[in-house]
Amino acid sequence: MRSVGVEEELLLVDRENGEPRALSHAVLAAASRDPRGNEEVFESELQRQQLEFATSPRTDMGDLAEEIRRWRAEAARHAEGVDASVAALATSPLEVSPTLGTDERHLWLQEHFGLTTQEQLTCGCHVHVSVESDEEGVAVLDRIRPWLPVVLALSANSPFWQGDDSGYASYRNRVWGRWPSAGPVEVFGSADRYHQQVADMIASGALLDEGMVYFDARLSKAYPTVEIRVADVCLDASTTVLLATLLRGLVDTAAREWRDGVPPTRHGVALLRLATWRAARSGLEGELIHPETMRPAPAEAVVRALFDHVRAALDENGDTVGAQKALAELLDGGNGARVQRQILHRTGSLRSVVAECVRLTLE
């Protein structure tokens, strides 16, 4: 059974007013003094209003769920010591002036990308799924491309930007898409071609290094995994586990198709960009672009198509019942974007949105 690991980026906010606070260094310092010795789990990110953690590789989804909730709680505990809270929000509902990190890499990004770097306060969820080789990994990347917008729609959790409703379910995706290397990619066909493409991108001088290859899904440069990066950080930890479950099933399905000689779908990047835009705009409301036909279809029908596509793999992994239950709850209650808008409708206050999301992050 393939192992799965998750990286989540959390927003650090003031405990009283919900405004993002540039406290990642203080929180990391608190973690380093913790006698439990879990400081290596947490890392700073591009902006100092962010904190990231990474789980261990897991094969059991119950274990993964437990670890995600544990690190969310530990992050909140460390933040509390500096009068802050953590929120699983992919963008800040309240206005914010991001504070860039001060290491050499961040300063290089500021110099070369200007306002794109300065405004890039977004929190994502990255799911790593193990693969046996780079060749299998690239075969997987080639075959999961059309399904990634559906994953974005499930995770969408960033309707607000600088104090306004953006009109999108995932405005994070629109902001993240400003990087020149971000988004969907073409079919590579082989590991050699994938690595040549990455080498050519770096040789162009536009990117600092391989870490700046911000494809929606890529080979990890650090682990024997495919790293799927398209998702917003999810408000509810159970949604994160659902994504991890479906993505393992998607990787299993793609690898099986490759071994069986089934060629990847050749949808062009232009169509995939449209499907990604539609997912970011609609989330689970209205229509999405169906990955097989590239025509509009009701969001729930497209989500069901993803589930059916990976059903055999879910059965083999013993994940079907849990995934069915989590998916039904998500479709009924809505993703983070819907929940945030419902809170605003009920309270009339974006500060209340942040406060409620702080609570929901830890439930």
CATH number, position 255: 3.30.590.20
pLDDT of residue 319 exceeding 70, the answer is yes
* Cα 114 from Cα 251, distance rounded (Å): 36
Average pLDDT rounded to a whole number, residues 137-163: 98
Are the C-beta atoms of 281 and 169 separated by less than 8 Å?
A: yes
* Cα 54 from Cα 137, distance rounded (Å): 21
pLDDT at 170: 98
pLDDT at 354: 98
∠ CA(214), CA(216), CA(222), 5° rounding?
60
Burial class (CB in 10 A: 0-12, 13-18, 19+), 52: buried
* Cα 158 from Cα 341, distance rounded (Å): 10
pLDDT at 33: 84
Estimate the crossing angle of helix 320-333 against helix 237-259, to 10 degrees.
Answer: 130
Taking only Cα atoms into account, the Rg of the chain, rounded to an integer number of angstroms, comes to 19
pLDDT of residue 314 exceeding 90, the answer is yes
* Cα 100 from Cα 102, distance rounded (Å): 6
pLDDT at 363: 87
* Cα 168 from Cα 165, distance rounded (Å): 8
pLDDT at 38: 65
pLDDT of residue 72 exceeding 70, the answer is yes
Q: Confidence band (pLDDT; 50, 70, 90) for 59?
A: very high
pLDDT at 37: 60
pLDDT at 11: 98
| Chain center to CA of 173 | 10
For residue 167, give the DSSP letter: S
State the residue range of the domain holding 100: 4-361
Q: Confidence band (pLDDT; 50, 70, 90) for 32?
A: confident
- Tell me the residue length of the chain: 363
Q: What is the largest CA-CA distance in the chain?
A: 57
Best CA proximity match to 86, nearest among 118, 123, 57? 123
pTM comes to 0.96
Q: Phi/psi at 48 (nearest 5 deg)?
A: -80, 0
* Cα 186 from Cα 197, distance rounded (Å): 11
Collapsing DSSP states into helix, strand and coil, what is residue 131?
coil
Higher-pLDDT residue of 40 and 247 is: 247
Percent of the chain beyond pLDDT 90?
A: 95
pLDDT at 39: 59
Reported as a single tens digit per residue, the pLDDT across 275-308 is: 999 999 999 999 999 999 999 999 999 999 999 9
Are the C-beta atoms of 56 and 5 separated by less than 8 Å?
A: yes
Average pLDDT rounded to a whole number, residues 70-89: 96
Residues whose CB is less than 8 angstroms from the CB of residue 332 and which lie 6 or more positions away in sequence, other chains included: none
Are the C-beta atoms of 14 and 84 separated by less than 8 Å?
A: yes
Among 30-39, 48-57, 88-97, 272-281, the least confident range: 30-39
pLDDT of residue 211 exceeding 70, the answer is yes
Reported as a single tens digit per residue, the pLDDT across 33-45 is: 877 766 578 998 9
Average pLDDT rounded to a whole number, residues 145-157: 98
Average pLDDT rounded to a whole number, residues 88-107: 94
On average, the pLDDT of the chain sits at 96
> What is the distance between the terminal CA atoms of the chain, rounded to a whole angstrom?
29
Count of domains for the chain: 1
Average pLDDT rounded to a whole number, residues 13-33: 93
